[in-house]
Amino acid sequence: MKKKKVIVGLSGGVDSSVAAYLLIKQGYEVEGLFMRNWDSAANNDILGNPDLNNSVCPQEEDFIDAQKVADHLDIKLHRHDFVNEYWDNVFTYFIDEYKKGRTPNPDILCNKYIKFAAFRDVAIELGADYFAYGHYARTRINGSEVELLRGVDSNKDQTYFLSQLNQEQLTNTLFPVGEIKKPEVRRIAVEMNIPTATKKDSTGVCFIGERNFKQFLMNYIYTKQGDIVADDGKVIGKHDGLMYYTIGQRRGLSLGGHKDYENLPWFVIGKDLDNNILKVGQGINHPDLFADEALIEDINWIPKNKFVGEFKCSAKFRYRQKDTEVIINWTEDGTIICHMLEPVRAVTPGQAAVFYKDEVCLGGGVINSAYFKGEKRKY
């Protein structure tokens, strides 16, 4: 019988490398597909970015690593440019959100529009029966629908970033490393002499890589300095542009000691876009940082049937944030009102709110606004 063909998103990292190995071991015919989502040379040239001084950009290094893995596993590696799709569907939204003073999550959109959409189209052209990725997540068939489950490794679970996927995108999708924990992934890679076995995990925004984020944004968005104002109304410093700061942020405020205040760390507690003011307060648990209700827009509900009336579940408002018990309701315009059963810190407009029922990821949306005791937070 002919083997089923799987096209794996081979990124040059250890997770996708081990995913490819596990699929081969399971008896599939495996080929890799490397996604090029950002034209580093063209954009850096336009921006005069000093990264051009490097002989090989990080994206090309990843492709070289992916090719080494493919050669080691004796599989074919395809390479495809998704630069235009990425610019149109991810990057322009990313910039527009920052211009509004919000904090977007481009990784979620990259999954929705590139890895699980444009990628699938190319994979189908290559004859794929299944699509596979190195995400820490799982799927399960429940009757006529596919459920998205948290990865076995709760510390690495990536369902938060997959919350905008739909039933079609999850169909025939495999997450081999979602069934195991990260240390086991490393152990397998070392044991099988996979070239990426000891490669450091990537960090930062998916297309930017590990470069100065503030300098990167300066190339695309005009900013204006303004006042940093303490919660008592006093001006205590200057900010470089509201887009560079997010709710709950501590680092990068450049606020030294002030004789009028205690020697405690400062945190961003709000933004006044109309007056170009950054609001700050002292203490990680400053009361203005907490919300007990949020309006969530651009909802993607993964199950085929939407809930009716009040629905109790849990939610994450940031990737590393612990689950919070919530009660959610649909509004007439298709948004969700989310009531937290206990106040949540730094519920930030532009970020994702993702809903769960035990281990099942139900989907999510974008945080429009946050409230505390009925009063809208000035985030």
Point out the residues that are catalytic: 110, 206
Look at residue 72 and give its three-state secondary structure. Answer: helix
Rounded CA-CA distance 76/110 in Å is 24
Helix runs in the chain, H state only? 14-25, 40-47, 58-73, 83-86, 92-99, 106-109, 119-125, 167-170, 182-191, 213-218
| Phi-psi region at 372: left, alpha or beta (left = phi > 0; alpha = psi -120 to 50) | beta
Alpha carbon of 59 to those of 39, 46, 303, 337: distances in Å? 9, 18, 35, 40
- Indicate the DSSP class of residue 276: T
Tokens 């205040």 -> residue: 261
What's the alpha-carbon Rg for the chain, to the nearest Å?
A: 22
173 by Cβ neighbours in 10 Å (0-12 / 13-18 / 19+) ranks as buried
Contact assessment for residue 25 and residue 69, using Cβ atoms and an 8 Å cutoff: no
